[in-house]
Amino acid sequence: MEYRDFGRTGVPVSMICLGCMNFGGKTPEDESIRIIHHAIDQGVNFLDTANVYTRGESEKVTGKALKGKREKIFLATKVHGRMDDDDVMAAGNSRRHIIEQCEASLKRLGTDYIDLYQIHRPESQTPIDETLRALDDLIRAGKVRYVGTSSFTAWQIMESLWAAKELGLNRFVSEQPPYHLLDRSVERELLPMARTYGIAVIPWSPLARGFLTGKYKRGEDIPGDSRFAGEINRDDTFGKRTKQHFSDMAYDVLGVLEELAQEKSKSMSQVALAWVAAQPGVTSPIIGPRTMEHLEDNLGAVGITFSEDDLQRLDDVAAPESAIVNYYTGQMMDFKPPQHRW
């Protein structure tokens, strides 16, 4: 396993982060624990979950798996999503919700502290100084070591850095953006900003929700058990984005991935994951295995290198800074500026 500094913190983390979204849900508890233990045995020391993953079940299973192993793990979780359908206050980036959910996450994870506590999505209704003050209090109380963001834009992170400096608060040390060969838009501003200010970057969905594994073929119907099958006929943002995955340009990317995989005697998913990990500014892509087979395949991305010719071939079908499938649109990045931000 390769280890990299987590941004400016000086903490070494594995170049692959184990995402725990499926654990306690699609992946049964006993299998989830086996996967976590095997990942740790293979050198993975960075785990990421969230309170909303199966409404807390992922955190519970992750906590059980880490009994006796906690001190050697950099453990991350997130807050923002709705945790109670009947309580309008049980979501968002308010002080009330953050403090309440941190306590709940600590209990579910069975730990006294969280290494990285992340704001799962930006929220324009809550001024960033309110969010930062709550997170700063958690750090000063010893319940959280570091704080980060997920799916924030570059300007939103810059605003947070300015606010933290102005108010003398602990700053965000990481960002978790969507990043893969079908959406390279973070290369335009977010990655250069992160490198400039020492922010760790831990991309989610490096395999474009499984599209880059190669299981989808041009001209063939989408398998009925696929995560895309239930979305492609929807008229909302997710339906439109799903359709973009199955465009000619996206299949062109798969074609080059397949060629490189054959040349390197690797799987397409391993090459796609290694490409994300090799990009300047990236710390640790987050994998989301559902089975032990998925984990074993993902771990095979460690050690893959790319020549200038390899990178150019991928650039030719997936242009730098471009997006074949735009993950930064719609519900995820809906911004409604408040009348009085400061």
Taking the C-alpha atoms of residue 301 and residue 316, their distance in angstroms, rounded to an integer, is 22
Picking from 226, 294, 331, the residue whose alpha carbon sits closest to that of residue 20 is: 294
Catalytic annotation present for 53: yes
Taking the C-alpha atoms of residue 189 and residue 79, their distance in angstroms, rounded to an integer, is 25
Do the beta carbons of residue 130 and residue 95 sit within 8 Å?
A: yes
DSSP calls for 20-66: -TTBTTTB-HHHHHHHHHHHHHTT--EEE--TTGGGGHHHHHHHHHT
**E-strand stretches of 106-217:** 114-119, 144-150, 172-176, 200-201
Do the beta carbons of residue 58 and residue 50 sit within 8 Å?
A: yes
Do the beta carbons of residue 77 and residue 120 sit within 8 Å?
A: no
Report in angstroms the alpha-carbon separations of 87 from 74, 83, 94, 97.
Answer: 32, 8, 14, 11
Q: Which residue is catalytic, options 3, 53, 179, 327?
A: 53
Which residues belong to the active site? 53
